Amino acid sequence: MKRLPQKGRIDRTGRCHIQYLVFIIGNITLSQPLLLAPMAGITDLPYRLLHRSFGCELAFLEMVSSQSLVHESKRTRRMLSSVAEDRPLGAQLLGNEEDAVLKALENILPYGFDMVDFNAACPVPKITKKGKGASLLKDPKKVRSLLEVLVKNSDVPVTVKIRAGWDKDSINARDVALHAEDAGISALTIHGRTKEQGYGGRVDYAAIKNVKEAVSIPVIASGDALSPQLIKKMFCETGCDAVAIARGSLGNPWIFRDTISFLETGLIPERPAPDQRADTMRRHLDLICTFYGDKRGAILFRKLFSWYVKGLHEIRSVKEDAFRAQTREQMNFLIENIRDFAYRHPEGSYEAFVLSC
């Protein structure tokens, strides 16, 4: 595949310029270099549909293990649910055995997803103890062999997600990336932290940049994509082709719209007023209750409620009530209450607001 030009370019004055916004993975062309990353327990169908309404083009399912796909449990089938407007859509697989990964691929291809991603980045101990996720970073050749199985048997683009390394003494993302590229993948995502860091500490922009400079496939950067300013910094510091947004989208579906505006014009739209935030919350709640049913939907929305109202002043009592809400009607009532609240931070302090969340 032809090497893509770098997006971020720093001129002599130290200013960063974004050269273009189109992003290509295999046969998929996006008008923006942003995607919604897979998040366990978060990126279900309602979550994806809501974020697409604010400009997200490419999204991923929650990470799904090879074993659960083989057994095809009811929960797994629900995780795989999609609709026509939920495209393009990627599925992320987790596993460490070729036979299981192949069987999982065979089970998932009939669903018609647009790409398959392989997870070699998850730092959760219950995953790495089984030799899966970020544990695979210790064996780049095994990563390559697993990806070769996927590439050989998939009729859609195959990608992989990795981390900077296992710990600070084993930063080997460049080596892993080269083995992955040799397997024939269409793109690579790298989270700029080690497994030992988890989601704490600083993102290693240099590790991402080293991977970008080493491979000819598109590189998607991940880590601290919490605001338009930090996303632009990621482009400029690493030269990456796209950025994966995860935690930055929690309670903030506007991040896609706002980031594109910032990259194109240098301007960020005003934060949604509390009443606009309430309207979005109600729409999200409706999507969840339609998908899961009113009772389960209301309970699942509790954590989402908490994320949505971060940054509002004196909201604690309402948050506490939301964590006790049992019905859709109760949750709707609490959502209506937030229309009367104000932001804690001065207008215009977008990054301070997001980072406080």
> What does the pLDDT look like over 62-85, one tens digit per residue?
999 887 887 777 888 899 999 999
Q: Above 80 in pLDDT, residue 101? A: yes
Checking if the pLDDT of 158 tops 60, the result is: yes
Residue 140 scores a pLDDT above 80: yes
How confident is the model over 2-16, as pLDDT tens digits?
A: 334 445 555 555 567
At residue 13, the pLDDT reads 54
Is residue 50 within 8 Å of 289, Cβ to Cβ? no
Residue 16 dihedral angles phi and psi, to the nearest 5°: -100, 135
Is there a catalytic annotation at residue 122? yes
Average pLDDT (249-276) is 93
Q: Which ranges in the chain belong to alpha helices (H)?
A: 45-52, 66-71, 74-79, 98-108, 125-128, 140-153, 173-182, 205-214, 228-238, 255-265, 274-292, 294-309, 316-322, 328-337, 350-356
What's the predicted TM-score (pTM) here? 0.91
Average pLDDT over residues 213-230: 97
User: Which one from 16, 56, 122, 236 is the annotated catalytic residue?
Assistant: 122
pLDDT of residue 8: 58
